[in-house]
Amino acid sequence: MDSAFLLRKSTKKIALIIASSLMLSWMAFTKIEAADQLEVVIDGTVIPVSIKELTEWGRGKKSSSELANWLNLLEPENRQGLIKILKAPLLKELSLGRQMLRSWAGQELLDEISDFLLVDSDRSGVKLFNTLEVLLDIQPEVSTLDLLEALPAENIRLDLDALFLLANKWKLQLESQQKLSEALGKLSSSKSREEDQLIGNESEGVKPKTTPLEVNHRSNPLILEVWNSTQRKEKRESWVLLMPGLGGSQHHFRWLAKHLNNQGWPVVVLEHPGSDSKAVQALLEGRKPAPGAEVIPERMEDLEAVISAKRRGELGIKADKIVLMGHSLGALTAFFAGGATPKAGLQNRCQKALKDLALTNLSQLLQCQLSDVKLKKKEKIPELQAIVALNSFGSLLWPGNGDASITVPVLMAGGTLDLITPPLSEQLGLLLALPSNNKNVAIVIEGASHFSPIGLDQNDQNSSTEDLFKLSEDLVGIKPLEVQRLLAREITIFLKNVESKNSENTNFSAHKQINNIRIHRLYRPTVIKLLNSQ
């Protein structure tokens, strides 16, 4: 008896959190007539559970029902754990989950969820989605109890047998990630040396120049932030084109642009209309659906327009070579611009990945959407010197050694708390998919997450400290400001290394602890050893 409820405790939470976090469509819904029973399938047996009795027990109301008496027989720890899960908020009015409700990825997940969480015969998930939206319009957050009470259905069936098998697969994936963290944790680290002190006092007077750029593929000009200070004496041979990720904004990366410009590199920060923070705001207000991989072709055109403007001398930048730099989807755009194209067979690889609901690697959903996106073949950028990819991804696009045909040096950075683009496959695995280059490097920061590089300039009157993402601490990761300083340091080391004329590079891995944060600089030989040990 206890084991069944322990199973329900874990699997129900997974199912409902997935369903509430990642769903598509928006349809009118005006009246809620709640279901009376929840049917739970365990070991092939269907157990009917009264939703009313369950919610009364979960809310602490006195009840002499058979279900309440049954649940009260649980061990105190298990009983309290079940109550906590039932009452915990699945979704809040302003949260990362709600921002993703109408994504392409949401529909893919919902199709799979309907196999084990079925509301009547509705396999589209419309009833579940609409109920969540209606509840969020009248209350700030929705719990499992709220959802079960409100679902408009005659029957709700939860197949724990199917979900248990899926949970085991997720467990194995999470264990692989944990093994990587443990392996990194066992590596001895050294204290910082001179090269670790590259981040000194930044010049407070440096400000970007806002430059509008007329482009043929958009109705309005692109608004560029151009950091082109000449205060530093040493001249760099390259300039940096920096691209935010999906829903990202220029102000999220001013910390990095400012640092690099202080180190001598001119920086241009793009804002991609349609997939920037304004697009996320439009999503929250119900005016537009969530953007996905379909925005990549326009992002590529944005990138090409900026490079063309630089070549025409319109940006006032003298450096000849270019470094493409991006976060998440911006990093993927940089890979495509660098000459990489998806390896044949993506659709087949995606069928297998989506069958298992890749919740320990959400980037796989975005990669699979590329099966429906037409990417024009682009000419390689002759001036391209390097690529810097923060929280990059592409394991399904380039699954094998040498599949990503990028010939310039690449830095990929990630964190051990990132379940959107986990470092095991999306940075370390992707490093091996690149052609061998002794300057290619992966940076892994313990405790950093997918959102650690996102910063807010609190001195900027045009940016709000109320960030659209409303990220909680468990999503941001540990000490994001310190992580950003370390990332800036590593990027500086990498770019100086790229500009070095020394062909015999010091491609030795390094493991350091700086301000109580452990950071790992990993080159190909060490990455191979780490992956072979998994």
DSSP letter string, 438-487: TT-EEEEETTB-TTTT----TT-TTS-SS-TT---HHHHBS-HHHHHHHH
Evaluate if residue 4 carries a pLDDT over 50: no
Amino acid 36 reads D
Give the end of a domain, one of 136, 166, 196: 166
- And the tokens for 280? 């996320």
Both 106 and 8 in a single domain?
yes
Q: Measured in Å, how far apart are the chain's first and last C-alpha atoms?
A: 36
Q: Residue 490 has what pLDDT?
A: 94
- State the Rg of the chain over Cα: 25
Both 83 and 161 in a single domain?
yes
Evaluate if residue 377 carries a pLDDT over 90: no
Evaluate if residue 460 carries a pLDDT over 50: no
303 or 84, greater pLDDT: 303
Evaluate if residue 288 carries a pLDDT over 60: no
Sign of the torsion formed by the C-alpha atoms of 433, 196, 496 and 265: positive
Burial class (CB in 10 A: 0-12, 13-18, 19+), 373: middle
Give the end of a domain, one of 166, 197, 225: 166
Give the end of a domain, one of 137, 166, 195: 166
What is the pLDDT averaged over residues 74-101?
A: 68
Neighbours of 60 (CB within 10 A): 9
What is the pLDDT averaged over residues 12-35?
A: 36
What is the pLDDT averaged over residues 507-515?
A: 78
Dihedral, CA of residue 14, residue 20, residue 21 and residue 27, to nearest 10: 150
For 372, the enclosing helix (H) or strand (E) is none
Q: Which of 87-101, 147-161, 393-407, 413-427 has the lowest mean pLDDT?
A: 87-101
Both 153 and 203 in a single domain?
no
Both 262 and 228 in a single domain?
yes
Q: What is the pLDDT of residues 45-56, one digit of tens each?
A: 787 888 888 888
Both 442 and 481 in a single domain?
yes
Both 209 and 156 in a single domain?
no
- And the tokens for 174? 């999470």
Please give the tally of structural domains in the chain: 2
- And the tokens for 295? 């925005």
* Residue 176 belongs to some domain of the structure: no
* Residue 182 belongs to some domain of the structure: no
CATH of the domain at 371: 3.40.50.1820
DSSP codes, 164-196? HHHHHHHHHHHHHHHHHHHHHHHS--B---GGG
The DSSP symbol for 342 reads P
- CA-to-CA dists, residue 140 to 5, 95, 186, angstroms: 29, 11, 43
Both 192 and 144 in a single domain?
no
382 or 162, greater pLDDT: 382
Q: Which of 226-235, 351-360, 367-376, 412-421 has the lowest mean pLDDT?
A: 351-360
Q: Residue 408 has what pLDDT?
A: 95
The percent of residues in the chain predicted with pLDDT above 70, rounded, is 71
Q: What range defines the domain where residue 47 resides?
A: 2-166
304-343: b (≥16 Cβ within 10 Å) or e: bbbbebbeeeebebebebbbbbbbbbbbbbbbbbbbbebb
What is the pLDDT averaged over residues 174-195?
A: 69
Both 101 and 143 in a single domain?
yes
Mean pLDDT across the chain, nearest whole number? Answer: 77
Residues 6+ apart with CB under 8 A from 311: none
Backbone angles phi, psi at 36, to 5 degrees: -95, -35
Both 229 and 312 in a single domain?
yes
Split at pLDDT 50, 70, 90, the class of 103 is low
Q: What is the pLDDT of residues 328-372, one digit of tens each?
A: 999 999 999 998 999 999 999 988 877 766 556 778 888 988 888
Distance CA 439, CA 508 (A): 10
Q: Residue 23 has what pLDDT?
A: 28
Both 150 and 238 in a single domain?
no
Both 158 and 217 in a single domain?
no
What is the pLDDT averaged over residues 51-76?
A: 83
* Residue 175 belongs to some domain of the structure: no
